[in-house]
A and B are shown apart, each in its own frame.
Chain A
Amino acid sequence: MDLFKEQKIPMRLSDGRSGYLRFWPNWMPLKEADLLLALAIKQTPWRHDSIRMMGRKIPIPRLQNWFGAPGTSYTYSNIRLEALEFPPWMERLRRSIEIQTNSEFNRALVNYYRDGNDSVDWHADDEASLGNEPVIASFSLGVERKFDLRHNLSGQRVSLNLPHGSLLLMGPGLQSFWKHRIPKARALSDARVNFTFRYMRT
């Protein structure tokens, strides 16, 4: 098997309709990925946000920030993130991923999973501002983590490992029919940085 090739994974949506994941496990050469990981950790102004749950502020188990054109913000679970302007290195990443996937992206949520205790629970990237059936590109750097997907109706599970330098494209419809998460992996002490590129109309 050619490790550098793209894998296309069909994903059931509703009856009679299927979507897909496109996966490049070794999208970025390792040396380049090492440099980018160091740069991303160092140069991103990381925020540790909290969400409000039953009247209590609970810090989320990861650091993050939000990038896009100046003055754009992003809201989910009542956290409001003002977007920072793409720095040149992230802009180049954005364009490279656009060209690879033949899609357009104008925003990126960047998450920093400091170690295996950091995680993200079941969710879909389906905020209204993303429009109908958004396409999401997820680029991973750092320690390999498990990525779970769960079908909303059937409960069917699909899991992938997202290695250092891998690129995953979640095709149209995936966010409406599937949720995804990065579960905790307490044995891991190394960090992972993940970029999810998306397109927003406003």
Chain B
Amino acid sequence: MTLKISYNRSLMRNNTLALQSTAEYFCEVKNTTDLREALTFARSKNLAITVLGAGSNVVLKSNLFGLVVIINFKGIRHSIDGNDVVLSVAAGENWSSLVKYALRNNWYGIENLVQIPGSVGAAPIQNIGAYGVELSDVFVSLDAMDIRTGEINSLSHELCGFGYRDSIFKRKRKKKYIILEIKIKLSLTANVQCDYPLLSEALKMDSQKSTGLITPHRVARTISDIRRRKLPDPSIIANVGSFFKNPVLKSDSVSRFLECYPLAPVFEINGAEYKVAAGWLIEKCGLKGFRSGNVGMSSEQALVLVNYGNASSRELLQFSESVRQQVLSVFGISLELEPTVYGSF
């Protein structure tokens, strides 16, 4: 046994909401040998397994019973075929660093996803997306370990069942797999995606300084600036970015909604589904900047819930539930939490 497994380990530094939480058993794994060892350990003690990445999209309750595994696989490989660059990226790599690495090499396609916190392995789970691009646009396949059997399976794009901030790893394959590596296809040719309204407005402002073709580097710089302006830095004030998903409405309910609120920001996902800006709903309920005890909705970005101090997970979830109830009673729209909640009080 080379793997170090600790007991009663604090997870405060493993979640960007900085919640006090304790793992019954804890280990960090760097390769498949470590991971198999961890799974064998869990099986021998009949422990539940919780997999964490960067902890930037989770709410951890006080106690996580069983074994908490941090996936710390590293490495990026690439192959170039004509205009395509296929990257195989280990799950423990940092997503935003990957975007910057790709840009430095002039590999394009994920520049709109710059500055999204979290690990590469977490990216497919909720099909991360921003400013008109989502992971599924460049995704090829992934390798994942079957928790029960320890086998490594390759899952194609189709098998991952991507949807809006959604995949099978959130639905029927929840807790079946541990993602080890993802494969994405980027391009040597810049093909910028700048139709997202907030982005094109920001690029118009920027065009007073920079001219010429809009480059992926310029898109990335502009988006980084927007994100820095809108989202509090978790190293300064604890948060997980957007706390609620933008609710998805069918076309008939969206037209009814727009009749009542013609100025609401609504974006088409496909012909039949639309997303409504959850931040706008929260703001219209007067909850932007609203604080109760140690928890509040950010005053810069209504969608971001922040932990001002030593909030407990119970306090935080009670607060978010009251925000949810308020939006439900005003708009009749039920918000869903974006982060995943783990553990028990």
| CB closest chain-A residue, reference B202 | A99
Closest CB of chain B to A149's CB: distance in Å?
Answer: 23
From A4, A95, A102, B214 is in contact (CB under 8 Å) with A95
Q: Could you write out 28 A-B pairs with CB less than 8 Å apart?
A: A6-B208, A26-B211, A27-B212, A28-B211, A28-B212, A28-B213, A29-B212, A32-B213, A36-B213, A88-B189, A91-B191, A92-B190, A92-B192, A92-B213, A92-B214, A95-B192, A95-B194, A96-B192, A96-B212, A96-B213, A99-B200, A99-B204, A99-B207, A99-B214, A100-B204, A100-B207, A100-B211, A167-B211
Scoring A26, A100, A165 by chain B CB atoms within 10 A of each residue's CB, the highest score goes to A100
The distance in angstroms between the C-alpha atoms of A165 and B211, with both chains bound, is: 10
Q: How far is the CA of A32 from the CA of B190 in the complex (A)?
A: 13
Tell me if B203 is interfacial: C-beta within 8 Å of chain A: yes
Chain B residues within 8 Å of A, Cβ to Cβ:
189-192, 194-195, 200, 203-204, 207-208, 211-214
Inside 8 A of A11's CB, which chain B residues have their CB?
none
User: Contacts of A95 on B, CB cut-off 8 Å?
Assistant: 192, 194-195, 214
Could you mark each residue 1-33 of chain A with 1 if its beta carbon is under 8 Å from any beta carbon of chain B, else 0? 000101000000000000000001011110010
**Are A93 and B189 interface neighbours, CB within 8 A?**
no
Interface string of A95-109 (1 = CB under 8 A from B): 110011010000000
* Chain A residues near B (Cβ < 8 Å): 4, 6, 24, 26-29, 32, 36, 88-89, 91-93, 95-96, 99-100, 102, 165, 167
Q: Is the CB of B211 within 8 A of A24?
A: yes
Nearest chain-B residue to A26 (Cβ)? B211
Minimum C-beta distance from A155 to chain B (A): 34
| Chain B facing A: main interface SS | loop
B-chain residues with CB within 8 Å of residue A91 when the two chains form the complex: 191
- Indicate if the CB atoms of A99 and B212 lie closer than 8 Å: no
CA distance A100 to B210 in the complex (A): 9
Measured CB to CB, the closest approach of chain B to A98, in angstroms, equals 8
Give the shortest distance, in Å, between A86 (CB) and chain B (any CB).
Answer: 12
Residues in B neighbouring A24, C-beta threshold 8 A: 211
Shortest 6 CB-CB distances between A and B: which pairs? A28-B212, A96-B214, A100-B207, A27-B211, A96-B213, A99-B203
When distances are taken between beta carbons in the complex, the residues of chain A under 8 Å from B207 are 99-100
The reply to whether B204 and A102 form a contact with Cβ atoms under 8 Å apart is: yes
CA distance A92 to B200 in the complex (A): 13
Min C-beta distance of B203 to chain A, whole Å: 5
| List of A residues within 8 angstroms of B203 by Cβ | 99
A192 to B17, CA, bound (A): 58
Residues of B within 8 A of A27 (CB): 211-212
Chain A residue at smallest Cβ distance from B211: A27
- Further contacts, 16 of them, CB under 8 A, given A26-B211, A88-B191, A99-B214: A4-B211, A28-B211, A36-B213, A88-B189, A92-B190, A92-B214, A95-B194, A95-B195, A95-B214, A96-B212, A96-B213, A99-B200, A99-B204, A100-B204, A100-B211, A165-B212
Instruction: Indicate the member of B190, B203, B214 with the most A CB atoms within 10 Å.
Output: B214
User: Nearest Cβ distance between residue B291 and chain A, in whole angstroms?
Assistant: 38
**Distance A95 CA – B213 CA, assembled complex (angstroms):** 8
* A29 closest partner in B (C-beta): B212
Residues of A within 8 A of B212 (CB): 27-29, 32, 96, 165
Q: Name the residue on A nearest B191 (C-beta).
A: A88
Note all chain A residues with C-beta closer than 8 A to B204.
99-100, 102
Give Cα distance in the complex from A173 to B192, angstroms: 32
**Residue of A whose beta carbon sits closest to that of B187:** A88
With A and B bound together, what is the CA distance between A183 and B194 in angstroms? 37
Q: How far is the CB of A7 from chain B (nearest CB, A)?
A: 12
B194 and A99 form a contact (CB under 8 A)? yes
Tell me how far the C-beta of B269 lies from the nearest C-beta in chain A, rounded to whole angstroms.
21
Q: Which residue of B lies closest to A24 (CB)?
A: B211
The reply to whether B213 and A93 form a contact with Cβ atoms under 8 Å apart is: yes
How close is B250's CB to chain A, nearest CB, in angstroms?
Answer: 28
- Closest chain-A Cβ to B210's Cβ sits at a distance in Å of 9
A172 → chain B closest CB, angstroms? 19
Q: Once the chains are docked, how many angstroms separate the CA of A6 from the CA of B210?
A: 11
A118 to chain B minimum Cβ distance, whole angstroms, is 26
Cα A167 to Cα B213 with chains together (Å) = 11
Task: State in angstroms the CA–CA spacing of A183 and B208 once bound together.
Answer: 32
Cα distance A29–B211 when bound, in Å? 8
Determine the distance from Cα of A60 to Cα of B212 in the docked complex, in whole angstroms.
Answer: 31
In the bound complex, what is the Cα–Cα distance between A89 and B208 (angstroms)? Answer: 22
What B residues does A99 contact at CB under 8 A? 194, 200, 203-204, 207, 214
